[in-house]
Structure 1
Amino acid sequence: MRDFDPVRLGNAETDAWVGYYLRKWGLVLRASVTMVRVGFGMSWPDTLRGAWWVLRANQLWAPFPDNDPDGARAYMRRFYALVARTSHENFDVDEAARLEVEWWRVHRVLQHAERGAGIGLLVDAFTALYAHVYSVPLPAVREAAEGRAEATEISDRWVADGCDPASPAIAKERAALVRGYTALRDAVRLA
């Protein structure tokens, strides 16, 4: 969980986000399988279980404005309990689930705000999640959070522009995610 391939992880998350906004849930599930396997190094049965819970959480969160944040948190709690059990990391799974869905909430607020609203709150949300799950100081994972937040901004512009699967924005999003995950791996690998 602390030593992962940031390129594979960034590629998979890009695919997951594209699938999410196109409501191609099979693509989201496939990408989630890769993200869980690469990001957390779980066994195949645990990978499939965890990816399913991530998919279900995203499906409950997706409807706007009538989503189910409590249901999404419940699935993410299951996921983070699995992460804690399989990785032998020591973090509060309820807090991890809360922080995960909190970044989703902050992102949604920013998505529907005036353009140029800034991503500082989203950077803070990612930073808090990473610091909690990996038990590292906030400053250690700030750069990682900035990369992932930049990717969300690119993704949001892609969505606003019509979600063209051939858009060059997808490659830019992918690059920002890879940068963010490289910084995360570097911050947590030796911690």
Structure 2
Amino acid sequence: MSVRKMILGSTLGIAAAAALVAAYAVIPRPADLRAFDPAEMARLETAMWRDYYDKRYAALFYHLYESTRTQFGFSPLRSLQIALGAAGAARTFQPTRSRPEADAALPALVGYYRDFASAAPVAFDAHEAARLELDWWQARREAADPRDYGLTIARVTALTYGRSADDSGIRQFGIARAEAMAFRDARGEAIAEADWAGIENRLGEAYRSLKASVGR
């Protein structure tokens, strides 16, 4: 075999491999927001909270990507888009100090919910979901009662799953998740590994409640 043929064969092999990788990344998958494992979602969300408060944005992006890819079944490319939108919204919101300033995070949140919409059981309004999401982010920052902004979390969840916000499992999910956040906020800089383990347990209970209401 001539050198030229060897080079040509190698080039074609690399091109074929690249094409397969590209196809793997972009081919749509049958993603489903109901197809999550509660314990794994609790683990990933706990990791994301730690990333956010430590301002480890690269790690936050990675855990967002992992949750979207492994728990909901999105393609690698769509998971990348969703993770970028969520991480971008969190990073934009973090330094703000008022609701008008926080509104700068809305475009990223709208994009995030639009990307998520294809995996939802029913169509929903991405603008409304983003607005409600930002509502509870700001309410939490203003030290509102977790049961109050927990109900807003339940409204976002109900919207994206096509359920009633009065569904007991969804209400329980929203409030339990908010109470886990309030516990983290109360611990502040004194938070320890045992506290994070407790938060993960609380989130596990919240996601089991959600799974019971919307799961497959």
Matches within 5 A, 1:174-189: 174-189=200-215
Structure 2 residues without counterparts, runs of 5 or longer: 1-32
In structure 2, the residue matched to 1:152 is: 181
Q: Distance in 2 between matches of 1:20 and 1:158?
A: 15
Q: Secondary structure at the match of 1:139?
A: coil
In structure 2, give the amino acid aligned to 1:118. D
In structure 1, the residue matched to 2:129 is: 96
- Percent identical: 26
Over the aligned positions, Cα root-mean-square deviation in angstroms equals 1.9
In structure 1, the residue matched to 2:118 is: 85
In structure 2, give the amino acid aligned to 1:103. W
In structure 1, the residue matched to 2:165 is: 138
Matches within 5 A, 1:104-123: 104-110=137-143, 118-123=145-150
> How many Å apart are 1:142 and its aligned residue?
0.5
Q: Distance in 2 between matches of 1:96 and 1:53?
A: 14
Q: Distance in 2 between matches of 1:40 and 1:83?
A: 9
CA offset digits 1:136-176 (Å, max 9, x no partner): 111221111122012101211232xx155x43110111111
CA offset digits 1:6-44 (Å, max 9, x no partner): 111111111111111111112211221122224432111
In structure 2, give the amino acid aligned to 1:9. M
Query: Higher Cα Rg: structure 1 or 2?
Result: 2
The structure showing larger relative contact order (alpha-carbon pairs under 8 Å, at least 6 residues apart) is 1
Question: TM-score, structure 1 length as denominator?
Answer: 0.87
Equivalent residue pairs, number? 181
CA offset digits 1:107-153 (Å, max 9, x no partner): 1111xxxxxx6322111111111111111111221111122012101
Q: Secondary structure at the match of 2:163?
A: coil
Q: Is the 8 A contact 2:120 2:161 kept in 1?
A: no
Decide whether aligned partners of structure 1 residues 69 and 118 sit closer, same or farther in structure 2, where only a CA change above 3 A counts: closer
Q: Distance in 2 between matches of 1:181 and 1:106?
A: 22
